[in-house]
Chains A and B, each alone.
Chain A
């Protein structure tokens, strides 16, 4: 446990629609994975040097595995292509998070709008809305039916789910869908930018926070994950520690005898929060928002590492 979570293991890989693979990821030690809620994503540090974010689309009542689904992008910068063509069952892949910028919040009813692979974060949301017995509708469109993942999983929901192939049936009338919403409804959308932009226009008159969206043109992380050792300087004592890639910074600090309190050791609880004085962390926690990550003021040594050669921390 002191080594931090090094990697996840690809346990299953299966084609679930044209150009879409579903991966089942487990901890190679056979232990629980960190908790998550619908809307969460993980960062995968692929061994071709890229970091990509993927929504968790599996079942959180199974604590032993994560599921993601990856679309092979025609203009892939290497992430989806690597996963489709090179990543194999049994391979290890580095992980950060899970993090959640797209939380399911309480509502009297939900309208879910998915475009293509944007169905992934919405799948667990639908299951949650059903569990909470809130009325909901899913509008799910894709270019053609054969490339739309998880249609089979959605069958049991009957007419709450409306599936449409854009090539043969055209687009959804999102304006009408929004104007039919009752008071207290919330709208969740994940899909191409054009779809989100259109929906934003229609939702202008809804109350604050009624529209929640996730764009899947995720930002490229500025600092690539490193696979080599780095130095951590404890500013108050002047000690410089060398941290090997397989070791957690927390462990290195404790070995050096500095009193640093931790609790969950999974980047969830925030107990080991440490101030960064200089250097660039490679954040792997579930706590900081994107803005907070960019500020690089604090980090969680139980899971996070260094992206730069040296990190100076206030300890």
Chain B
């Protein structure tokens, strides 16, 4: 199938390796939403992979497809050596204890009727880990490590905590089964900047303490840059560019990455506020454009772009781009200084 290539896949200690992932949803008898169309990526042990893109690009669907909610239409999701798409329901449940997920809205992802300590405790009780006392001790330890007072957690329900605190509690619940990989789906986008900074710092600390590997999905490029080692840029179900975090932002090669970076409002009134150069809005994933899916909005597009789908190819050390006309030249013209 016409994927976006495998050139960016690596050898080494891979925790997660996704190949040619396809997720489609039927919306009516004649239409399917092509949410994810053959993307591949891998995450090495201890690494944070950032997945960034606009709404509707398939980034959340990708994260959920790794968890097999729902199971993808095709493709391989290899986690610690076993293909999750091949596993039966019982094996999958067991595997999911080692892949956890944190969601965007921290308040609605916790049960409003239970105390938050019970919510954090539940996974341990379900899996019968340790004795009751051991479980409580572990839960209190983990709540402490995410900055929540265990005593308060024992007697309070989610609505008694702020959004930032609820997100800490969700993180504690994800940590309690000692996972290898945590998929964070927009974990800070509902939070105020001051709280966002606290949660981002916390994730960095926990990654260190618990030896975690993270997939961090977000639309905010500055947030993704801050937390990630490697970043994948998605557009309409495809990967545009994959590179190390610092490299991607210093030398964005894909026109779409450039546009995304230029669109960020910088907290500096002296920054260049060139009128936005983006043409229109993302098209519908029901009927994605031919060739390069970005070509209708791209100012560099020509006939090749509408006819042929670009494959990911290297443009530098650990820097891959799926574009017929990558724009390396724009880098030096970047008006940051």
A and B associate in one complex: no
